[in-house]
Amino acid sequence: MNVRHCRLTGVLPVLCLAVLSFRAAAIGAEVEQWGVWETSLDGPRDGNPYLDVQLAAAFSQGDRRIVVPGFYDGDGVYKVRFSPPVQGQWRYETRSNRPELSGKIGSFTAGSPTADNYGPIGVFKTFYLRYADGTPYHQFGTTCYAWIHQTERLQQQTLKTLAASPFNKIRFCIFPKSYAYNQNEPALFAFQKKDDDSFDFECPDPAFWRHLEQRILDLQRLGIEADLILWHPYDRWGFADMSDSQDDRYLRYCIARLSAYRNVWWSLANEFDFMTDRPKGHRGNKQMEDWDRFFQILQNEYPYQRMRSIHNSRVWYDHNKAWVTHASLQTSEMAGGARFREKYQVAYRFTQYAPGEKLRPQVKISASEVEGVPPLTVKFRSETEGAIAWDFGDGATSTANPATHTAENVCWYFSRVQDQPGEASLVLDRKTTYNAGSVAAEPGPLAVGNFNETMRSDVPNRQFRGEIRALQIFGSRISGRGALDLVVIKRYVP
């Protein structure tokens, strides 16, 4: 008989975590409400634990009972993680198909949340989002698909940039992406490689998953939600073509390892329909019934019932299905917001006019310069009727129209309507950098502005975009090119 052994390595980190976990349990250390409580158990190493061993724990407080799946973390170490939804004492008992992991019992106390812990996000009154403690959540998100698959230096630079940004949610992929500016070979993958350099979809790599967990915690410390993309069609490694059983095990492993982190959201796919109809250059073997099955696994086995969505390209998923918590819509038809809100009951935010209310100001602004090297002097003009206030983000303000300002950095500008009728303001919310070299090169000088009046046609060269009333805004990605075309860039960069 052939016995297949999946060797999951990483001895030193696992042992350190195990010691810390047992020590915490021994002294009865508290975990904060909505934090992560974890225990580690020694268990079987034979065969393939990823396939052969089932582990779960039932957590109870009074009449409340929550069952949480466990997972194998390599080197004979099994873990269970739990995020206590309420304060007080919790008891737990493990169950497993292996006797050495079954029947472990214990208790711990969940204390009050720390100052920056508002709990997980949830849907409130159909159209709104809020934290579990009742604090309103106004989503302002961005996408960095493959940031966790870049060099450590670039990942740290991304975190530093996010820390200075207004974003409170980021969408990114678990699997690496083969796409423009993402042709590198990552150092870590979700699954281990075989001797022939192909991937073994029945052997997760704990080193990668610990790395992903660290990045989720890094975002949590910044107050940023982590919207995890589980599958996508931009693949050259084979992850988009796993079998049904491999897909299901992968999803359940994600649930077991990651669901306790309060800032985790689930996005089944980026452009799911490209994995179904497979236009040229795309990978995937998923049909509509597969997406339904994935959603149902999340609905039935995800202990905390938090945010679940799916992202489209040309074909829209039926967001009215019971297992979808919110709609993630890719569309340029912003005028259809009212129709989408009615059809899908989604959280489009509108402030309706009160009877007799005057028309609110329409913010229309222009700039004398839309590109250049800093320091860059720009004259801003507003066509808005009534009073206008300019806030340039560096302490400089103005009520003149037009207003002149010299920027020492390259900036994004957002228009924002003030509460008072007839008033509007221009607010600097974000600064971006431009890299004159390749992705791996040291970031060069700030070279081009992002105050572009129209969207550039070169889609791979834009990383973020947004529109507030009449103003479109775009930002350069860190790459060999920026949001402007190469001819314009060379006008300012030697």
Identify the three-state secondary structure at position 436. Answer: coil
Residue carrying the six token digits 């229309």: 364
User: 110-119, 158-167, 443-452: lowest mean pLDDT where?
Assistant: 443-452
| pLDDT range class, residue 276, cuts 50, 70, 90 | confident
Strands 264-269 and 225-231: parallel
User: Residue 372: its pLDDT value, please?
Assistant: 60
300-347 pLDDT, tens digit per residue, is 999 999 999 999 998 989 988 989 998 888 877 766 766 777 777 655
Average pLDDT, the chain: 76
pLDDT at 160 over 50: yes
- For the segment 195-203, the average pLDDT, to the nearest whole number, is 95
Locate 349 and state its tokens: 């935010």
Please answer whether residues 329 and 315 qualify as being in contact, where contact means their C-beta atoms are separated by less than 8 angstroms. Answer: no
Please answer whether residues 383 and 421 qualify as being in contact, where contact means their C-beta atoms are separated by less than 8 angstroms. Answer: no
The enclosing H or E element of 253 equals helix 244-258
pLDDT at 459 over 60: no
Please answer whether residues 374 and 410 qualify as being in contact, where contact means their C-beta atoms are separated by less than 8 angstroms. Answer: yes
| pLDDT range class, residue 146, cuts 50, 70, 90 | very high
| pLDDT range class, residue 380, cuts 50, 70, 90 | confident
User: Residue 426: its pLDDT value, please?
Assistant: 38
Distance (Å, whole) CA 136 – CA 411 = 28
User: Residue 443: its pLDDT value, please?
Assistant: 30
Distance (Å, whole) CA 31 – CA 87 = 9
- For the segment 222-246, the average pLDDT, to the nearest whole number, is 96
45-65 pLDDT, tens digit per residue, is 999 999 999 999 999 999 999
Q: Which of the pair, 339 or 140, is modelled with greater confidence?
A: 140
Kindly give, in sequence order, each residue whose CB lies less than 8 Å from that of residue 409, ignoring residues fewer than 6 positions away.
374, 431, 446
The enclosing H or E element of 288 equals helix 288-301
Locate 119 and state its tokens: 């709990």
- Domains along the chain? 11-111 (2.60.40.10), 121-344 (3.20.20.80), 365-492 (no CATH)
pLDDT at 167 over 70: yes
Percent of the chain with pLDDT over 70: 69
